[in-house]
Amino acid sequence: MQAFSVMPMSEEIDLQPGEIYQGSIRISNPANATEDLHYSISVSPYSIIDDEYTVDFVTTSNRSQIVDWIEILEPSGIVAPNGVKEVSYTVNVPVDAPSGGQYAMLEVRSDNNNSESSGIAINNVFELASIIYARVAGETRHEGTIISNSIPGFVTNGQPNVSATLTNNGNVHESAQITIKIVNLLTQDVIFPNGDENGVFNEVVMPESTRFATRQLTSLPALGVFEVTQDVSYLGNVENAHNAKVMIMCPLWFLALVILTLGTIIGGIIGTIHRHRKKRMVF
């Protein structure tokens, strides 16, 4: 399989009805590549299926009309090792284009029909995509809410997840900013973010959809008491935007050990009381 990279991985663009927009993507063949990259580019619709944002690159809708507006100026070509190819595209926006969001994917594939090694065709295919989030000017609606902002309080198994549920009732995509901070309450040390980590995450919420945005807290040790804070900034909403909770991490083996220890102590106390009673009965 021949690896390569595509930039940008996603791009937000603003369009006017009737205009011809010009954009580009960059395809890079790494320096350690042993052969030329033969690529091909196609355009597909981009949408989501459920609240966990399973991606659909097949189904067309009113929000993927942009697929028919895009023209790749050089849909196939070659990039030498350690080379970069900038491929231009145009978006021919109709004068009657609907206002609001339009979404597409520029899919870049290694074209192995043209790549050979020692006279033998290479059958592996490597695919990457650049997602286009477009806003068509006109009557746009920005409507949405933060339904939930959840942090677990007691965790016994594995790394915990924090989550937020966001709705978008408008006709264009929106961006939610989620900020997470974790403090060890026993030491007052900031566990996350720490060093080069970034505690701010951006989530795109597609129009007329609900997004369940979840993130695993991988920075936490298996045992401890922490204050976890999650702030959600989304369309100016205040309700459910802030959540801070004390979270206890206690693995099952530790719980079992505590129960066993308590059981042993209680059993010892009961046994001692029972022996004292026997002695009193003898005298």
pLDDT at 121: 40
Q: What are the residues whose beta carbons fall under 8 Å from the beta carbon of 266, sequence distance 6 or more?
A: none
Instruction: Give domain status of residue 77, yes or no.
Output: yes
27, with CB counted inside 10 A (0-12, 13-18, 19+), is buried
Cα 148 to its chain centre, rounded Å, is 18
Instruction: Give domain status of residue 203, yes or no.
Output: yes
Are 81 and 31 within 8 A, CB to CB? yes
Instruction: Give domain status of residue 267, yes or no.
Output: no
Strand partners, 26: 7, 86
Instruction: Give domain status of residue 179, yes or no.
Output: yes
Instruction: Give domain status of residue 257, yes or no.
Output: no
211 and 123 co-located in one domain: no
38 and 131 co-located in one domain: yes
53 and 148 co-located in one domain: no
132 and 13 co-located in one domain: yes
Instruction: Give domain status of residue 256, yes or no.
Output: no
130 and 15 co-located in one domain: yes
Instruction: Give domain status of residue 96, yes or no.
Output: yes
Domain end point (choices 80, 113, 136)? 136
Domain end point (choices 101, 136, 171)? 136
| Residue 280, phi-psi category: left (phi > 0), alpha (psi -120 to 50), beta (remainder) | alpha
Q: Count the domains in the chain.
A: 2
167 and 227 co-located in one domain: yes
Closest CA to 29 of 118, 107, 110: 110
152 and 131 co-located in one domain: no
Q: Identify whether 193 is preceded by a cis peptide bond (ω within 30 of 0).
A: yes
Domain that residue 154 falls in:
144-251
27 and 115 co-located in one domain: yes
CA distance 80 to 8: 20
- What is the DSSP annotation of 266-281? HHHHHHHHHHHHHHHH
113 and 168 co-located in one domain: no
**Alpha-helical regions (H) of the chain:** 252-282
The secondary structure of residue 171, as a DSSP letter, is S
Cut 0.85: pTM above it: no
CA distance 113 to 40: 11
Domain end point (choices 108, 136, 164)? 136
149 and 127 co-located in one domain: no
CA distance 170 to 138: 13
157 and 176 co-located in one domain: yes
64 and 88 co-located in one domain: yes
Instruction: Give domain status of residue 152, yes or no.
Output: yes
Tell me if residue 63 falls in helix, strand or coil. helix
CATH code: domain of residue 185: 2.60.40.10
pLDDT at 86: 97
Q: How many CB atoms lie within 10 A of CB 280?
A: 8
Note down pLDDT in tens along the chain; length 283 residues. Answer: 468 999 999 999 999 999 999 999 999 998 888 899 999 999 999 999 999 999 999 999 999 999 999 999 999 999 999 999 999 999 999 999 999 999 999 999 997 554 443 333 444 568 999 999 999 999 999 999 999 999 999 998 878 999 999 999 999 999 999 999 999 999 999 999 988 888 999 999 999 999 999 999 987 888 899 999 999 999 999 999 999 999 998 875 655 565 766 767 776 677 666 666 666 655 5
